[in-house]
């Protein structure tokens, strides 16, 4: 096996230290000191990368995720969602028609609303006396007797006021009021709900590049790499230094947007002579979905759990939520690991 072919597989072998080396690789490493040093350096770099803390989520990441969720909700529905929306409209229209038909049937069946009539306990019938006939004067008599006294008019008895049929309400006794007084209710304690994060269902792939470059001046190359990262809008997650055969090695990791990754890596490669470049593609969709399913299960379990068990559930949910955020951030950006060493 040639050294160039072996070095392309060294990164994959370093990522799985628990596995035994293939016989061909072990035989080549036993007789090639250069590949041995390369393999030892990669192991040392892997240990440093694992010891470093995970980079925090970028500012505004949570707001961006919620904005994408709101934008997805505002998009027009397609496919089966259109049919579902149509069925909902048909069901709503049917319910409205049934409500109107029921109201019309009740109106026809029972008639219009009329206030109830309350009969009076004592109904009296008043009969007025008949008025006597008025005497008619002769038509041809022109003289009127001024001394005649007019006949008295019959007196009419005034009719009593008709009964309205309403009874005056009687005040309830004080004892009845005391019996119907409701008891004082004690305030009910309401449990505090935990806000649940929403994660979209989509494929998540983590892209990364490992780049080892030999330069003339290590400090100048380090400053130049920081300037290139600033120009391309990349953020440096961490930086560390180590030694290899009494030679200083600088390791930096950058996070950059996917659309700028190709040009950014090419410009970093121009810092010196490229010794090794390894592009990786890691699909973390299955891992993300399994963690998300456990997160949703514990979230639903927490709602019905007693108060003394919610603290432990919250701790587990925070851990799962942090891991989901890390995978979400890694899948949305491009990771570049740069290893700088001086030419010997």
The CA-atom distances, in angstroms, between 119 and each of 112, 115, 116, 166 are 21, 13, 10, 8
Per-residue pLDDT of 222-253, as tens digits, reads 999 999 999 999 998 878 888 877 788 899 99
Average pLDDT over residues 83-102: 76
The CA-atom distances, in angstroms, between 32 and each of 11, 15, 38, 122, 274 are 17, 21, 10, 126, 21
CB contact at 8 A, 11 and 210: yes
- 261-269 vs 218-231: helix axis angle to the nearest 10? 160
- What percent of the chain has pLDDT above 70? 64
**Per-residue pLDDT, 230:** 92
Per-residue pLDDT of 269-318, as tens digits, reads 999 999 899 998 888 888 888 888 888 888 888 888 888 888 888 889 89
Please name which of 7, 38, 49, 45 lies closest in space to residue 25, comparing C-alpha atoms: 7
Please name which of 164, 171, 159 lies closest in space to residue 122, comparing C-alpha atoms: 164
SS3 197: coil
Torsion of CA 70, 74, 80, 84, to 10 degrees: 100
Per-residue pLDDT of 127-183, as tens digits, reads 555 555 555 554 444 444 444 445 555 555 555 555 455 555 555 555 444 445 555
The 8 Å CB, 24+ separation contacts for 75-82 are none
Q: What gap in Å lies between CA 312 and CA 217, rounded to an integer?
A: 53
Q: Does pLDDT of 44 surpass 50?
A: yes
């Amino acid at each position: 096996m040639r050294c160039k072919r072996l070095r392309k597989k060294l990164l994959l072998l370093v990522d799985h230290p628990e596995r035994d080396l293939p016989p061909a690789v072990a035989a080549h490493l036993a007789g090639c000191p250069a590949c041995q040093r390369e393999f030892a350096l990669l192991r040392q770099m892997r240990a440093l990368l694992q010891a470093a803390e995970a980079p925090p989520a970028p500012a505004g990441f949570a707001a961006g995720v919620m904005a994408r969720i709101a934008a997805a909700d505002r998009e027009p529905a397609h496919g089966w969602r259109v049919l579902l929306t149509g069925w909902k409209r048909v069901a709503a229209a049917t319910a409205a028609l049934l409500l109107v038909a029921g109201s019309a049937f009740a109106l026809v069946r029972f008639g219009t609303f009329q206030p109830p009539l309350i009969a009076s306990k004592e109904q009296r019938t008043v009969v007025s006396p008949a008025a006597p006939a008025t005497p008619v004067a002769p038509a041809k008599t022109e003289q009127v007797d001024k001394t005649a006294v007019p006949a008295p008019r019959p007196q009419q008895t005034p009719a009593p006021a008709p009964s309205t049929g309403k009874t005056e309400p009687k005040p309830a006794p004080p004892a009845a009021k005391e019996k119907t007084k409701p008891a004082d209710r004690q305030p009910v304690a309401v449990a505090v709900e935990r806000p649940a994060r929403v994660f979209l269902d989509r494929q998540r792939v983590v892209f990364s590049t490992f780049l080892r470059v030999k330069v003339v001046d290590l400090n100048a190359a380090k400053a130049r790499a920081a300037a290139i990262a600033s120009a391309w809008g990349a953020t440096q997650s961490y930086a560390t230094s180590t030694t290899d055969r009494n030679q200083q090695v600088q390791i930096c990791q950058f996070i950059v947007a996917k659309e700028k990754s190709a040009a950014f890596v090419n410009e970093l490669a121009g810092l010196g002579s490229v010794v090794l470049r390894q592009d990786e593609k890691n699909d973390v969709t299955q891992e993300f979905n399994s963690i998300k399913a456990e997160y949703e299960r514990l979230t639903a379990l927490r709602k019905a759990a007693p108060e003394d068990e919610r603290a432990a559930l919250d701790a587990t949910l925070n851990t799962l939520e942090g891991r989901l955020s890390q995978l979400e951030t890694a899948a949305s950006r491009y990771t570049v690991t740069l290893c700088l060493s001086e030419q010997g």
